[in-house]
Amino acid sequence: MTPGDAPAGGLLLRRLGIDTYQEPVVYLHRDSAICKAEGFEARARIEVWRGATHILATLNVVYDSLIGIQQLGLSEAAWRALGGIDGDVLRVAHARPLQSLSAVRAKIYGRPLGAEAAAAIVRDVAEGRYSDIELAALITACSGDRMDVAETIALTRAMVAAGQRLRWDSGTVLDKHCVGGLPGNRTTLLVVPIVAACGLTIPKTSSRAITSPAGTADTMETLAPVALDLPTMRRVVESEGGCIAWGGAVSLSPADDMLIRVERPLGLDSDGLMVASVLSKKIAAGSTHVVIDMPVGRSAKVRSAQAARALAQRFHSVGGALGIGVSVIASDGSQPVGRGIGPALEAWDVLAVLQNLPDAPADLRQRALALAASLLELGGKAGAGQGRALAAGVLDSGAAWTKLQAICAAQGGMREPPRAAHTHVLGALHRGRLTAIDNRRLAQLAKLAGAPRAPAAGLELHAPLGTLLRPGQPLLTLHAESPGELAYALAYAEAQDTIFTIQQA
Amino acid sequence: MTPGDAPAGGLLLRRLGIDTYQEPVVYLHRDSAICKAEGFEARARIEVWRGATHILATLNVVYDSLIGIQQLGLSEAAWRALGGIDGDVLRVAHARPLQSLSAVRAKIYGRPLGAEAAAAIVRDVAEGRYSDIELAALITACSGDRMDVAETIALTRAMVAAGQRLRWDSGTVLDKHCVGGLPGNRTTLLVVPIVAACGLTIPKTSSRAITSPAGTADTMETLAPVALDLPTMRRVVESEGGCIAWGGAVSLSPADDMLIRVERPLGLDSDGLMVASVLSKKIAAGSTHVVIDMPVGRSAKVRSAQAARALAQRFHSVGGALGIGVSVIASDGSQPVGRGIGPALEAWDVLAVLQNLPDAPADLRQRALALAASLLELGGKAGAGQGRALAAGVLDSGAAWTKLQAICAAQGGMREPPRAAHTHVLGALHRGRLTAIDNRRLAQLAKLAGAPRAPAAGLELHAPLGTLLRPGQPLLTLHAESPGELAYALAYAEAQDTIFTIQQA
């Protein structure tokens, strides 16, 4: 459909200032000529044109005087996608049927997702043509064990094709990724400067949190800008060898960012979607080799050795089919890494390790060294088994700290992570040994405190597994930017025995 | 959580007059004390209290002056659920986590839906606690072949338990249901008066259209009110033996109505959800026996004899487990029934049959007689094989027509179905024999013309299968209430060879 097809006269743009999260919504008055002529009803899918720019949006019908009958209101998401100023002339039309939805329905009804279907779906998703409920149906249909390896390959390929793809001068382009589920595991901010300080290329793009209290991009954002455009990212990598940028801003696998907007509130993760999401981003970023950090633990994202093997196998199969080298490193996922959980609190842990402070979390350092070692060996800077010593030297000498400062400066300027206005120390209720921590509930606690939206929010953990606790001994400190959030987190934390298992000695 | 838990002061209700379809939405100003204190962000799920009444709603954050910082705006769906007038004092709080979502995620990850999980999910759904994307995930997880018989039984039982359940004095309470997919198959409006005229009890509740151009409730509504409350429905049935009411208004299986609000835009149907939906409504309505009309055809909802057997088997198994007698009658689903497709146009067909007009559609009459016959035999009014003659007699004598008029009068007064302001006759493009009709595309055409929202909209079909057509001979007449809708339907109908197969003689 072209703008010429839009029936009836134009409407005057009115930015309504309503934040509907990421779903674009348009508001039309019930008595507008267009509503009457077209028979539009609430939740119709509507094509909106401003000049040659157009979006697909969901209609809300207004009965009141909020907008005039000649106006077309835009939600913030719709306005961001369409641009313009109040009074611009827009045109609307019934959306043409979304053909790729038939392929989603076929998948729901049990037919495998073929290459052509995956391409059509991902193209429409990347263009923002799917409504939230359509995205929810797609994600659900592809969750659990409902996507086999062939389907995952088709989906990954389609996701790469739907966005930009970077090329680098360097023959070897390294990358790392953690499959998540382990709060505080912020190794990227250590691995990238170590690897880059050794002269290798590691143009890292990271995601924001999906279901966790902080993504790497959220944490890095407390230190430096992460929403880099492509020229900026290229300039940073050319001068420093590495960067830590938010993937969403550079349109690598844009479909993935659309899926995340619904995966997050649904709290859904699955092997197929995860592998497609991770590898599509890495391939689009131009990486030739990627090391996958896979924490395994009862309450991590990967819960058992069996699940870890299946996921690793899928990474290898899909990576092989798409021509990217994948190494998977399984790690201990029984407890959080470092002390902080939440964007700024995790950044403080990273800074302590880089600055070799006496209270720097040793577990975070050890994990980062293992991953950096693997990358240094893959990149030919160290022989087999020699990577770890090289990485430790770069960290101890302060070269990695210097490199992170240089990267932050190149990304737009380094800043100090914020500190929360409201904190509360939570003491152990009774004596005993800390024998288990429920990572999921701990993450939920940090989210109730406001993370990741509130960057200073989250919690600091004071007692690792095995600690012999006396009553009142600090277990954790809650950090919140508002008293309401602190109160919510406190209410949740009251049931502390659902988070911490303390065995009476 | 109780109202006393709501933190901070109250907010003043403002009915904003925004129709968001059925999802309740609340609007808060970004700078309101409550948004700041609670750290609310767009799409948070919020509990809203007005006195002791409360709802769960989705938050939209307002940046502009649309609402004041002391106000809380309600969408129409939220206002319908909560009531009140502008200025009423409301309280809000973070929604407590929806526990039953874990059960939905477990189902998505492949674990079967148990009785306890089904009960918890359906209770929350019936109370309106699920957001649209959560409903979409639930429906998708239960679609296709992803629900076995045991799960369907659990879901059906839970759906009955979540709403009201009617009791009738009569020992035998009859019911009928058509699984749909066949446009124009409006037999209920004939079967109910025939059966009731014979002295049997048939308190029929019907749904509105889900993915079709008209549901029975939509069609009946062009003749009489259908949104009957329970006392009215009981009074109608006590005086007339039967009624044709909208099931949604009497809170029979209220969860079903919530599911439909998302099934409809997604265009999803599945055996398990269909059987649970149909039988939960019948059992809740107090029926002891139900006859299921199952049209089978390439473009009907049930496409093959094999699919029909599987669906019939599931109806029998679930009916048996829940103690309701089920008879399934498979019928020809190769072409629409009667002439009209759309609420009012189908009502005119029904009236022609009841009034024994010379141009009454014979196929509609024959189908209604077959179903009525089965019910008369089940109800003991006719011996085996004698039901049909009895039914035909009641129709021919005018007793059924008298009975429908009496039922309409008892439901609130009979009225004449509306007629569309805009019509257009579509002629055959070339000579040949009409050998196939795509029911799905024909239904889509009627929907583009405005059905079922616009009751007079839809189409009249002039050529049954087998007709030898000459060029220009009328195939159908489109009916629309607005010129825009007529234009959309016409544009779609231009590709008439995707709807009609005409073999050149």
pLDDT at B9: 62
Instruction: Using an 8 Å CB-CB cutoff, list chain B residues near A19.
Output: 30, 42, 60-63
pLDDT band per the 50, 70, 90 thresholds, residue B421: very high
CB nearest B267 (choices: A105, A262, A270): A105
Nearest CA of chain B to the CA of A63: how many Å?
5
Nearest CA of chain A to the CA of B99: how many Å?
13
Identify the helix (H) or strand (E) that includes residue B265.
helix B254-266
Fold topology of A174-252+264-410:
Pyrimidine Nucleoside Phosphorylase; Chain A, domain 2 (3.40.1030)
- The yes-or-no verdict on residue B6 having pLDDT over 50 is no
Instruction: Using an 8 Å CB-CB cutoff, list chain A residues near B458.
Output: none
The number of C-alpha atoms within 13 Å of B67 and in the hemisphere containing its C-beta is 29
CATH number of this structure's domain A3-94: 2.40.40.20
Identify the burial level of A396 via C-beta atoms within 10 angstroms of its C-beta, where 0-12 means exposed, 13-18 middle and 19 or more buried.
Answer: exposed
CB nearest A19 (choices: B8, B17, B63): B63
Contact check, Cβ <8 Å, A134/B266:
yes
Domain over B174-251+263-411 is classified CATH 3.40.1030.10: yes
Residue-averaged pLDDT of chain A: 91
**Catalytic hit among A269, A293, A349, A363:** A269
pLDDT, one tens digit per residue, over A9-49 is 689 999 999 999 888 999 999 988 887 767 677 888 899 99
The number of C-alpha atoms within 13 Å of B497 and in the hemisphere containing its C-beta is 7
Contact check, Cβ <8 Å, A145/B38:
no
Between CA B412 and CA B420, with CA B417 as vertex, the angle to 5 degrees is 145
pLDDT, one tens digit per residue, over B444-485 is 899 889 999 899 999 999 998 999 999 999 999 999 999 988
pLDDT at A333: 87
Would you kindly state where each structural domain of chain A is located, as residue ranges?
A: 3-94, 100-161, 174-252+264-410, 422-503
Could you tell me which residues come within 8 angstroms of residue A81 by beta carbon, excluding any fewer than 6 positions away?
Answer: A24, A55, A128
Report the distance separating Cα B292 and Cα B325, nearest Å.
11
Which residue in chain B has the smallest CA separation from A58?
B20
What does DSSP assign to residue B91? E
**Are residues A500 and A379 in contact, defined by beta-carbon separation less than 8 angstroms?**
no
pLDDT band per the 50, 70, 90 thresholds, residue B4: very low
**Are residues B254 and B136 in contact, defined by beta-carbon separation less than 8 angstroms?**
no
CB nearest B483 (choices: A37, A75, A270): A37
Contact check, Cβ <8 Å, A19/B37:
no
Contact check, Cβ <8 Å, B18/A94:
no
Residue owning tokens 């579509």: B426
Nearest CA of chain A to the CA of B210: how many Å?
15
Residue owning tokens 């369409």: A82
Q: If you count residue pairs, one on A and one on B, with CB atoms under 8 Å apart, how many are there? A: 169
pLDDT, one tens digit per residue, over B193-215 is 999 999 999 999 888 887 789 99
- Chain A, residues 13-72, CB within 8 A of chain B, namely 15-21, 27, 30, 36-39, 41-43, 60-64, 66
B325-332/B289-296 β-pairing: parallel
Identify the burial level of B402 via C-beta atoms within 10 angstroms of its C-beta, where 0-12 means exposed, 13-18 middle and 19 or more buried.
Answer: middle
pLDDT at B505: 64
pLDDT at B43: 83
> Positive or negative, the Cα torsion across B101, A178, A146, A287?
positive
Residue ranges of chain A with per-residue pLDDT less than 50: 1-8
pLDDT at B145: 83
- Chain A, residues 383-412, CB within 8 A of chain B, namely none
DSSP string, B455-502: TT-EEEE---TT-EE-TT-EEEEEEESSHHHHHHHHHHHTSGGGTEEE
pLDDT at B493: 83
Average pLDDT over residues B415-432: 94
**Are residues B442 and B458 in contact, defined by beta-carbon separation less than 8 angstroms?**
no
**Catalytic hit among B124, B175, B257, B269:** B269
pLDDT, one tens digit per residue, over B70-110 is 999 999 999 999 999 999 999 998 888 789 999 999 999 98
| A305 interfaces chain B, CB cutoff of 8 Å | no
Active-site residue, B31 included: no
Instruction: Using an 8 Å CB-CB cutoff, list chain A residues near B34.
Output: 484
> Positive or negative, the Cα torsion across B191, B234, B247, B326?
negative
Average pLDDT over residues B140-164: 93
Fold topology of B422-503:
Aldehyde Oxidoreductase; domain 3 (3.90.1170)
CB nearest B144 (choices: A37, A109, A270): A109
pLDDT band per the 50, 70, 90 thresholds, residue B181: low
CB nearest B137 (choices: A21, A64, A136): A136
In chain B, what percentage of residues exceed pLDDT 90? 69
User: Which of A14, A21, A92, A133 is most worth mutating to test chain B (most B CB atoms within 10 A of its CB)?
Assistant: A133
Contact check, Cβ <8 Å, B36/A482:
yes
Class of domain B100-161 as given by CATH? mainly alpha
In chain B, what percentage of residues exceed pLDDT 70? 97
Could you tell me which residues come within 8 angstroms of residue A430 by beta carbon, excluding any fewer than 6 positions away?
Answer: A469, A471, A502, A504
Could you tell me which residues come within 8 angstroms of residue B58 by beta carbon, excluding any fewer than 6 positions away?
Answer: B23, B24, B25, B26, B43, B44, B45, B46, B131
How far is the CA of B273 from the CAs of B153, B156, B180, B315, B333, in angstroms? 10, 9, 14, 11, 21
Residue-averaged pLDDT of chain B: 91
Instruction: Using an 8 Å CB-CB cutoff, list chain A residues near B454.
Output: 39
Task: Name residue A489's amino acid.
Answer: A
